[in-house]
């Protein structure tokens, strides 16, 4: 792919795109604004145009037109990503927002077939109408779309029970860099027919192709919930409480979110409407459990009581109704908005083995004190997955890179990952170069070249140049 | 890779291998017999030699020596595969049987780090010593090794609860075709650091590299079990019973295995020692449920009683102790041995959407009657996964291919997969050509070429030539 197509070729491509899609669906100039800026405020796009195909066949045609004009292609979903995955200059952005059909929903088979533009909240609603659920959920569910949350293998709060997003997807349809349509639309629990291509595109951030449709696996919707906000003695006590709850409920814990003092203080400051049920403690977790066959309130009460006797739990508020449960969730889901209230920040999305989360936090704080003693930190964690969102607010711009490297050091030393669920995009490219196994990077480059020889699909993202 | 290396080069390579590994670990001639024949009797290997490296570094050296001499490389584990995945003529077979170290087991993190030669039953025992389990299990667990069951993404009976094998693996170490070691040894629940390479090698059947070690995810070991053999009215009644059990137990069903009349008749014939608890019915299922927090016998009894009232269940025997539970499992696990008691056979390992399993069996029988009215069939199914093992015994060798194509037709028409859990190997190459999306085959070829440009790693398997 060239850095710059010649103007005549580019204008010809835009004309072809207008002929294919209609003028209303080839946006340029200020019409592209809502795709250009992501809500973190850290990343911008300045695309040649944003096109809005109505179906898979049109996506394939769009890719072919872009290839003839040698244009870079950047797919965009709900634009709720956090890592600059859609930032670009001069690319053709392909929005999937018109592809919102639920092609099929078969309750007996437990599958839903969706186009890439369907919004996550609409998937939730469609499943619930059949007493089923699609478990993936996170704060941006009202905006995030299938293509985006699959391309980023987005995580969220339910992974502790339902596993990562890859495991919730049975089939995939992808438009490749040459405009061919790859049909992996399996509806099957087991399918060993050759190399697993699906999981390359899930989490591929659009670098290997454009996801246009997917088969999602549905689960029975829990009929009973039990939620609580709990003050705990320390991190090991939190993990002991998690094991206690899992053993007492056969793994019914749907969310187990760690919210230490740093988070609760910021929450009180920015969201005074979200009243906190007990005094500030150093460590708190929010818990939600879901059951099909039995109410879990008693199980939760008993486990908390035992944990209190063991000195692990210091205080607790158990939700007595749906409104209180929602209140506890709101406290957790305010995290993204709180994180980005001030800049500059070093925002980290790391994962650790469960037994090393405490060491990570301790080591990181010790080393941060040495670098920038007055820096603030904010931590919130999907603790059941070992996934820590750590934000550092340095006192000085010049410390950004030093702090970033320090967090990487601590993470990698403890066997952690420098990206747990947000992906790489542009924001973690240098981190990838520094921290990922160089052989793994070479294999990624080889696959990228094999599937996208012209480096047309979301170029410059995920895989750092050699 | 050439079809035939020149003799001097080959002898030089063998000398290098002996110098590297010692004479005892470079087997030739009749010493290779136990690797040459698989237990189905359908496939044979006639390797140049079988080498037995002691660790990952030696595997890497072996691959480099083979590359210099332009030898094909075929990895072999416990040799329990069913699809000819290790069959070859003149290749260098790499046995992982000396790499049996459990490198690490951290109960608090729920991870076990194993070398590729560890036997599945030994993994089970090591986990159980810590009240944990590695859920994957199947009849050949006393022989199957890590490298083999990961390379084939082997399925088994617990997938209905614990998901497919890919989801049970957190990290992987692989020796690539150029002898480099790829380190993907993550211990993390969430890891979005670039393209997902792990799932290419899992199920890759050794065509992209040699798996040398893995990080396995462990689950709490159930303390209570409830097992039964149940006669059911028909297939829809079986699926209704499964939903009933899942709703009553919050998804505690660990195995739900369909064993119709054709299977029970063969079982009575070949395993008269396995006494059948009630008279022959057209449809039976075996059930095993596992619970951490509560005994499940009452739940099972109530669900069966309700299902009997609804006319779905006709008879049932609930295991009253471990011996009876084991007896029920033995009835199911005799399947592989019963299947291969006579030849020729058309053995199919298909997966269907759950709501189409009955249509598959009905359509298949109707079309088989038209082709070969006296052909016998044997069916046993991991019904909870839609995975049907269908064996056809034609009256005439000449019908083999016609029957194979017929089964493929019915499977694909219903949205099924022509390989659910056994893989492709050599046995399903023509099926792949006929039935897999041609774009998917091209993408597989592109990845194979990118990672193994000399076509050295288990050549001729999984991916059919164009």
* pLDDT per residue as tens digits for the range A80-121: 998 999 999 999 999 999 999 999 999 989 999 999 999 999
The answer, for A203 touching chain B at a CB cutoff of 8 Å, is yes
Same domain as B267, residue B160: no
- Which chain B residues are within 8 Å of A293, Cβ to Cβ? 247-250, 299
Same domain as B294, residue B260: yes
C-alpha atoms less than 13 angstroms from C-alpha of B429 in its C-beta half-sphere = 14
Is a pLDDT exceeding 60 seen at residue B2? Answer: no
Q: Do B353 and A440 touch (CB under 8 A)?
A: no
Q: Maximum distance among all alpha carbons in chain A?
A: 76
- Which chain A residues are within 8 Å of B423, Cβ to Cβ? 192
User: Is B453 a member of any domain?
Assistant: no
Same domain as A210, residue A114: yes
Is a pLDDT exceeding 60 seen at residue A389? Answer: yes
Phi and psi at A90, nearest 5°, equal 85, 5
- What residues of chain B, 429 to 448, have a C-beta less than 8 Å from chain A? 432, 435-437, 439-444, 446-448
Task: Give the Cα separation of A309 and A133 in Å (integer).
Answer: 36
pLDDT-based confidence at residue A455 (cuts at 50, 70, 90): very high
Can you say whether the dihedral through the CA atoms of A27, A33, A34, A36 is positive or negative? positive
Is a pLDDT exceeding 70 seen at residue B461? Answer: yes
Same domain as A20, residue A108: no
User: Is B456 a member of any domain?
Assistant: no
- pLDDT score recorded for residue B195: 97
Phi and psi at A198, nearest 5°, equal -50, -45
Pairing of strands A73-76, A92-95: parallel
Is a pLDDT exceeding 60 seen at residue A55? Answer: yes
Q: Do B182 and A247 touch (CB under 8 A)?
A: no
Q: Which residues contact A434 (CB under 8 A, 6 or more apart)?
A: A405, A408
pLDDT-based confidence at residue B348 (cuts at 50, 70, 90): very high
pLDDT-based confidence at residue A336 (cuts at 50, 70, 90): confident
Task: Give the Cα separation of B213 and B173 in Å (integer).
Answer: 5
The pLDDT of A281-308, averaged and rounded, is 96
* Ranges A141-150, A332-341, B132-141: which has the least confidence: A332-341
Question: Residue B10's Cα: distance from chain center in Å?
Answer: 34
pLDDT digits (tens, 9 = 90+) for B361-388: 999 999 999 999 999 999 999 999 999 9
- Which chain A residues are within 8 Å of B188, Cβ to Cβ? 351-353, 386, 415-417, 420
Strand order in the sheet with A169-176: A102-106, A111-115, A209-217, A169-176, A181-184
Is a pLDDT exceeding 70 seen at residue B427? Answer: yes
Same domain as A173, residue A154: yes
| Closest B-chain CA to A299 | B293
Pairing of strands B92-95, B73-76: parallel
- Which chain B residues are within 8 Å of A204, Cβ to Cβ? 195
Q: What is the DSSP string of A54-68?
A: SSHHHHHHHHHHHHH
User: Is A295 a member of any domain?
Assistant: yes
The pLDDT of A242-261, averaged and rounded, is 95
Task: Give the Cα separation of B249 and B294 in Å (integer).
Answer: 10
DSSP label at A457? B
Given A80, A98, A116, the domain boundary residue is: A98
User: Is B465 a member of any domain?
Assistant: no
Task: Give the Cα separation of A12 and A65 in Å (integer).
Answer: 9
Is a pLDDT exceeding 60 seen at residue B1? Answer: no
Is a pLDDT exceeding 80 seen at residue B423? Answer: yes
The pLDDT of A435-446, averaged and rounded, is 97
Provide, rounded to the nearest whole percent, the portion of chain B with pLDDT above 90: 92
Is a pLDDT exceeding 80 seen at residue B40? Answer: no
What six digits make up the tokens of A461?
A: 């993202």
The answer, for B458 touching chain A at a CB cutoff of 8 Å, is no
User: Is A259 a member of any domain?
Assistant: yes
- Which chain B residues are within 8 Å of A384, Cβ to Cβ? 189
pLDDT-based confidence at residue A290 (cuts at 50, 70, 90): very high
Same domain as A317, residue A284: yes
The partner residue sitting opposite A250, judged by closest CB among B252, B387, B441, is B252
A interface test, pick of B56, B63, B195 with most A CB neighbours within 10 Å: B195
pLDDT-based confidence at residue A5 (cuts at 50, 70, 90): low
Is a pLDDT exceeding 70 seen at residue A314? Answer: yes
What CATH code is carried by the domain that includes residue A332? Answer: 3.30.70.2190
- pLDDT score recorded for residue A37: 83
Is a pLDDT exceeding 80 seen at residue B241? Answer: yes
- Which chain A residues are within 8 Å of B384, Cβ to Cβ? 189
pLDDT-based confidence at residue B114 (cuts at 50, 70, 90): very high
Task: Give the Cα separation of B365 and B377 in Å (integer).
Answer: 9
- Spatial contact of B351 and B388, defined as CB atoms under 8 Å apart: yes
B interface test, pick of A189, A293, A354, A465 with most B CB neighbours within 10 Å: A189
Identify each DSSP E strand in A140-217 by its residue range.
169-176, 181-184, 209-217
Question: Residue B324's Cα: distance from chain center in Å?
Answer: 26
- pLDDT score recorded for residue A361: 97
- pLDDT score recorded for residue A38: 79
pLDDT-based confidence at residue A22 (cuts at 50, 70, 90): very high
What six digits make up the tokens of B267?
A: 């079982």
pLDDT digits (tens, 9 = 90+) for A157-168: 899 999 999 999
User: Is B236 a member of any domain?
Assistant: yes
C-alpha atoms less than 13 angstroms from C-alpha of B230 in its C-beta half-sphere = 32
- Spatial contact of A27 and A84, defined as CB atoms under 8 Å apart: no
- pLDDT score recorded for residue A4: 57
Same domain as B202, residue B267: no
Distance from CA of A327 to the nearest CA of B (A): 26
- pLDDT score recorded for residue A342: 85
Given A336, A361, A383, the domain boundary residue is: A336
- What residues of chain B, 374 to 413, have a C-beta less than 8 Å from chain A? 382, 384-387
Same domain as B210, residue B187: yes
The partner residue sitting opposite A189, judged by closest CB among B184, B351, B443, is B351
Same domain as B261, residue B290: yes
The pLDDT of A22-40, averaged and rounded, is 92
- What residues of chain A, 121 to 180, have a C-beta less than 8 Å from chain B? 152-153, 155, 159-160, 163-164, 166-167, 176, 180
pLDDT digits (tens, 9 = 90+) for B122-149: 999 999 999 999 999 999 999 999 999 9
Given B336, B352, B377, the domain boundary residue is: B336
The pLDDT of B100-113, averaged and rounded, is 96
pLDDT digits (tens, 9 = 90+) for B49-89: 999 999 999 999 999 999 999 999 999 999 999 899 999 99
Same domain as A214, residue A256: no
What six digits make up the tokens of A52?
A: 């809005």
pLDDT digits (tens, 9 = 90+) for B156-198: 889 999 999 999 999 999 999 999 999 999 999 999 999 999 9
Is a pLDDT exceeding 60 seen at residue A465? Answer: yes
The pLDDT of A335-340, averaged and rounded, is 88
What CATH code is carried by the domain that includes residue A397? Answer: 3.30.70.2740
- Spatial contact of B391 and B345, defined as CB atoms under 8 Å apart: yes
Is a pLDDT exceeding 70 seen at residue B4? Answer: no
- Which chain B residues are within 8 Å of A453, Cβ to Cβ? none
Torsion angle of C-alpha atoms A420, A421, A425, A426, degrees rounded to 10: -50
Same domain as A380, residue A296: no
The reply to whether ipTM tops 0.90 is yes
Which ranges constitute the DSSP H helices of A347-428? 357-371, 400-413
User: Is A466 a member of any domain?
Assistant: no
The pLDDT of B399-424, averaged and rounded, is 95
Same domain as B284, residue B298: yes
Provide, rounded to the nearest whole percent, the portion of chain A with pLDDT above 70: 99
User: Is A440 a member of any domain?
Assistant: yes
- Spatial contact of A419 and B191, defined as CB atoms under 8 Å apart: yes
Question: Residue A268's Cα: distance from chain center in Å?
Answer: 25
- Residue A317 is part of which domain span? 224-336
pLDDT digits (tens, 9 = 90+) for B258-299: 999 999 999 999 999 999 999 999 999 999 999 998 899 999
Q: How many domains does chain A have?
A: 4
């Amino acid at each position: 792919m060239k850095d710059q197509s010649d103007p005549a070729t580019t204008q010809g491509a835009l004309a072809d795109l207008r002929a294919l899609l209609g003028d209303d669906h080839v946006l340029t100039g200020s019409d592209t604004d809502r795709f250009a800026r992501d809500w973190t405020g850290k990343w911008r796009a300045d695309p040649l145009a944003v096109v809005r195909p109505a179906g898979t066949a049109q996506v394939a045609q769009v890719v072919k037109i872009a290839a003839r004009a040698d244009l870079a292609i950047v797919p965009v979903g709900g634009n709720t990503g956090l890592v600059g995955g859609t930032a670009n200059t001069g690319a053709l952005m392909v929005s999937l927002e018109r592809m919102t059909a639920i092609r099929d929903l078969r309750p007996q088979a437990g599958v839903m077939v969706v186009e890439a533009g369907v919004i996550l909240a609409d998937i939730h609603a469609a499943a619930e109408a059949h007493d089923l659920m699609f478990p993936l959920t996170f704060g941006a569910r009202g905006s995030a779309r299938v293509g985006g949350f699959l391309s980023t293998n987005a995580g969220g709060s339910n992974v502790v029970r339902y596993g990562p997003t890859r495991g919730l997807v049975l089939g995939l349809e992808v438009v490749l860099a040459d405009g061919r349509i790859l049909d992996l639309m399996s509806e099957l629990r087991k399918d060993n027919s050759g190399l697993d291509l699906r999981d390359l595109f899930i989490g591929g951030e659009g670098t290997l192709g454009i996801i246009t449709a997917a088969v999602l696996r549905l689960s029975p919707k829990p009929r009973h919930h039990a939620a609580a906000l709990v003050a705990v003695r320390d991190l090991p006590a939190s993990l002991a409480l998690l094991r206690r709850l899992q053993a007492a409920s056969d793994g019914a814990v749907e969310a187990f979110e760690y919210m230490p003092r740093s988070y609760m203080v910021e929450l009180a400051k920015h969201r005074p409407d979200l009243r906190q049920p007990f005094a500030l403690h150093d460590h708190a977790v929010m818990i939600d459990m879901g059951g099909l066959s039995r109410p879990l309130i008693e199980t939760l009460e008993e486990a908390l009581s035992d944990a209190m006797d063991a000195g692990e739990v210091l205080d607790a508020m158990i939700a007595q109704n749906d409104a209180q449960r929602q209140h506890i969730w709101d406290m957790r889901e305010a995290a993204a908005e709180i994180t980005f209230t001030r800049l500059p920040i070093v925002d980290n999305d790391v994962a650790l083995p469960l037994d090393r989360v405490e060491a990570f936090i301790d080591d990181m704080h010790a080393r941060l004190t040495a670098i920038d003693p007055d820096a603030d930190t904010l931590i919130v964690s999907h603790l059941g997955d070992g996934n820590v969102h750590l934000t550092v607010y340095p006192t000085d711009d010049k410390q950004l890179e030093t702090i970033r490297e320090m967090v990487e050091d601590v993470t990698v030393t403890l066997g952690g990952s420098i990206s747990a669920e947000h992906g790489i995009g542009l924001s973690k490219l240098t981190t990838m170069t520094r921290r990922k196994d160089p052989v793994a990077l070479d294999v990624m480059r080889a696959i990228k070249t094999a599937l996208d020889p012209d480096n047309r699909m979301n170029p410059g993202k995920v895989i750092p140049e050699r």
